[in-house]
Amino acid sequence: MTQSIINVTNFSLDKMFDNIYPLEVVNKIFKKLDKNWKSQLIKMTIFKFKFLNFLS
């Protein structure tokens, strides 16, 4: 069985939130992103967690 290589173009935030990716992969992707993208991902993450907490 071959594993697909995860990179910036096929990285899924939903899979990240569901803990599908190992922490090393998430860290590697974040290092490749520029400052603007990192801040956007952080904002999206915070929003998603607040929204999910609101629903529960």
- Do the beta carbons of residue 29 and residue 8 sit within 8 Å? yes
The number of helix segments (H) and strand segments (E) in the chain equals: 3, 0
Give 5-56 pLDDT, tens digit per residue: 666 666 666 666 676 777 787 787 777 777 777 777 788 888 888 887 887 7
Write down the pLDDT at residue 2: 44
Q: Where are the domains of the chain?
A: 13-55
CA 56 to each of CA 2, 16, 18: distance values in angstroms, whole numbers, following the listed order? 38, 20, 16
Write down the pLDDT at residue 49: 80
Write down the pLDDT at residue 29: 76
pTM beyond 0.85: the answer is no
